[in-house]
Amino acid sequence: MTIPVFKRIALVFLLLVQAAGLCAKDFVLVIDAGHGGHDPGAVGAISKEKDINLRVALAFGRLVESNCKDVKVVYTRKTDVFVPLNRRAQIANDAKADLFVSIHTNSVAGNKTAKGASTWTLGLAKTQSNLDVAKRENSVILYEDDYKQVYSGFNPYSSESYIIFELMQDQYMEQSVNFASMIQQQFKNYSGRNDRGVHQAGFLVLKASAMPSVLVELGFISTPSEEKYLNTDKGVGSLSRSIYNAFLNYKKEWECKNSNADTGKIENAPAEQPVEAVQSPAVGSDEGRLIFKVQFLASSKKFDVASDRFKSFERVGRYEDGGIYKYTCYDSVDYDYVNRMRREVAKKYKDAFVVAFKDGKRVDINKAINEYRNKK
C-alpha cells in the first residue's frame, strides 16, 4: 500500500507540529554574576571575586546562547556594576525564569589551603561553616542604604536572623538540589576540581527568587593556587563548561517533565469522586509491586511522620534522597486513587505530585503509570 503524497506531507507536518509542541515554551535562564561595582566580593592577593564571577557568568552564557537556540539567557549584570541583591531576584522573577544560577567565589579568612567547588541551595545551614558562607554572601546588603527596610530588619551577621530559613518551605528544593548535584558532578569529573558537595544555607538572593535556583562557589580566592587557576582562561573556560554541561542535563530532564505527565496532570484522569466515598486500597505485600504515593514536601529537616503537622493525611511516610527528606502519603497500588488524593493534598501543599516506587526504590512515574494502565 502506498500513501498518497499529500497524506505523507500532512503526516510529516503533523509530526513536526507535535515535536514543536514538546518545546513550545522557551526556557528562560537567569545568570547572576555575584557582586560588582563598589562591592568587590571576596578579595584575593591578585584579584577580586566580582571579576572572576563575571568572567565565568559571561562564558557560561555565551555557551548557552550559541548552542541552545530555544533558551533565553538573562543576565543580572554584564559589566562591572553594582546590583542590589533583591533586584537580582526581581530580574529573575520578572523574566519568569525557569532556572536561576548565581555565581560566586569562596573565601575563608586566615586560611590559604581550602580547595574546591561547592554548590548551594536554599535551606537551613547544618553547620557553622555553612552558615558562615551565607553570612558572608548576604552581607552585601550592607552596601545598600535602605537595607533595613528592604530586607525587613534582616541582619546578615546575626545567627538569629537565619531562623526564617527554618520555617520556610521551598517548593523548588528538589529541582534545585538535583541541578546542584549535576553541577558538582561536572566540577569533579569535567574540571577535575575538589568536590566539596551540595549544601543548604540561608541565601537571601535564593530566597527571593521564585524558581529552582542555585548558588555556585567556584573555588577559594583565599587559596593562592586556586586564585591563580580562577584567573586563567583555562580555569574560566573549564568551570563555565562544567556549569553548561550540567545545564544541558537539567534542561533535558525539564523537557521530559514538561512534555509528559509527571505533575500528575493526566489528561484522561477519571472524574473527581467525593473523598469520603473513596476506599483506600490496601497495599498488602510490596514485593515487586508498583506503589504510588503523593509526595508533598521536601525539606532538609527530618520531621516525625506522626507529627501533628501531617495529621490530616493518611499513611504519611518519609524517605531520604540526596540528603533531603521527602514526605509522602496515601501510598497505594491504585494510581487513580493516589492521583485523586493528590488533588486533596494539593489544597494544602499546592505542588504535591504523584511518585512511584517498586521494591522500595523510586521509579519513573510515566513508565509506572503505563504499567499500571496496561495491567488494569
Q: Which residues bind Zn ion (CB under 5 A)?
A: 34, 41, 104, 137
Query: Which residues contact residue 306 at a Cβ distance below 8 angstroms, ignoring those fewer than 6 apart?
Result: 316
CA distance 17 to 11: 10
Nearer to Zn ion, 51 or 336 (CB): 51
Q: Least Å distance between CB 277 and Zn ion? A: 55
Closer of 221 and 297 to Zn ion (Cβ): 221
With CB atoms as reference, the residue minimizing the distance to Zn ion is: 104
Q: What would the grid cell of residue 138 be?
A: 548576604
The residues with which 122 forms a beta bridge, in sequence order, are 201
Nearer to Zn ion, 154 or 303 (CB): 154
Report the residue number, 104 or 196, with the smaller CB distance to Zn ion: 104
Report, in Å, the least distance between residue 243 CB and Zn ion.
16
* Grid cell of 8 as nine digits: 505523507
In angstroms, give the least distance from the CB of 204 to Zn ion: 12
User: Could you give the CA distance from residue 36 to residue 39 in angstroms, rounded to a whole number?
Assistant: 5
Angle between helices 233-259 and 5-22 (to 10 degrees): 120
Which string of DSSP letters, residue by residue, matches 308-365? Answer: GGGTTSSS-EEEEETTEEEEEEEEES-HHHHHHHHHHHTTTSTT-EEEEEETTEEE-H
* Nearest CB to Zn ion, comparing residues 36 and 41: 41
**DSSP character string of 36-57:** BTTB--SB-SS-BHHHHHHHHH
Q: How far is the CB of 19 from Zn ion (least distance, A)?
A: 41
User: CB 49 → Zn ion: shortest distance, Å?
Assistant: 5
Residue 176 and residue 83 in contact, taking contact as beta carbons nearer than 8 Å: no
Nearer to Zn ion, 89 or 290 (CB): 89
Nearer to Zn ion, 134 or 369 (CB): 134
- Least distance from Zn ion to the Cβ atom of residue 295, Å: 33
Q: How far is the CB of 162 from Zn ion (least distance, A)?
A: 17
Instruction: Name the minimum Å distance from CB 129 to Zn ion.
Output: 15
| Residue nearer to Zn ion on the CB measure, 207 or 342 | 207
Read off the C-alpha cell for 157: 551577621
Radius of gyration in angstroms for the set of CA atoms belonging to the chain, rounded to a whole number: 23
SS3 labels along 104-156: EEECCCCCCCCCCEEEEEECCCCCHHHHHHHHHHHHHHHHCCCHHHHCCCCCC
